[in-house]
Amino acid sequence: MRRRPLPYDAEAARKHLLKSDHVMRDLVKRVGPYEMEVRGKPYESLVRAILYQQLAGPAAAAIERRFLALFGDRIPTPEQLAASTDEVLRTAGVSRQKAGYLRSIGEHFERGHLSDRHLMRATDDEVIEAVTQIKGVGRWTADMLLMFCIGRPDVLPVGDLGVQSNMRAAYGLDALPKPDQMIEIAEPWRPYRSAASWYLWRRGDLVTL
């Protein structure tokens, strides 16, 4: 998927987080520049999200290659996806359950219930409400779409285990934080909670290294 410019000021986000609280300030200094990447369009991003759902990277990439090969090595149109049978999709290694999810994406776009244009212009809440009507698409997938495809600056993915675990470690919490606690901790990060979440993910990389 093609990379696009971040639709908000990355340096402004970094500077804001430096002033937000001492924990985030130290993390930003350790990680360095804010380098979020925004890629693709909503339709293709949702298709890829389903293909990669609950799979390790190499296995998902192999299935993605076989899936694309069914459609001439490109993302199928919504019409093609909606018409795809379980049997055809299973030849690419797609489970029967995921085949249903993929058809649901195709049907929503084919019927005009969703469109890339609408999702790119909708509010965050409108995007979440719209895409979670698709079978297999939950709040976490909607948050990832907002952050890494549409490029919204103020998304806090409270259901993401990486954000939860790194918030717990960074802020010295006794247990993984619940959504209400995460929202409270993240209040000073507004309107750049997407950037703060990115820095929390990068904290995990620093610890691993």
Spans of the chain below 50 pLDDT: 209
Q: Specify the pTM.
A: 0.94
In the chain, domain spans? 3-36+154-208, 39-150
Q: Express each pLDDT in 134-149 by its tens digit.
A: 999 999 999 999 999 9
Residues composing the chain = 209
Nearest partner of 198 among 160, 163, 161, 152, judged by Cα:
163
Nearest partner of 99 among 47, 57, 56, 44, judged by Cα:
47
* Per-residue pLDDT at 209: 46
- Can you read off the two tokens belonging to residue 167? 């918030």
Known catalytic residues? 160
Percent of the chain with pLDDT over 90: 93
* Per-residue pLDDT at 208: 54
Distance between the two ends of the chain, CA-based, in angstroms? 28
CATH number of 3-36+154-208: 1.10.1670.40
Contacts of 30 (CB under 8 A, 6+ apart): 203, 206
Asked if 3-36+154-208 and 39-150 have one fold, the answer is no
Q: Looking at the DSSP assignment, which residues form a beta bridge with residue 3? A: 39
How far is residue 62 CA from its own chain's centroid? 20
Residue with tokens 């298709």: 47
Query: In this structure, are residues 168 and 208 in contact, taking their beta carbons and an 8 Å threshold?
Result: no
* Per-residue pLDDT at 205: 83
Of 3.30.160.100, 1.25.40.10, 1.10.340.30, 1.10.3720.10, the CATH number of 39-150 is: 1.10.340.30
H or E element: which one contains 101?
helix 96-110
* Per-residue pLDDT at 207: 62
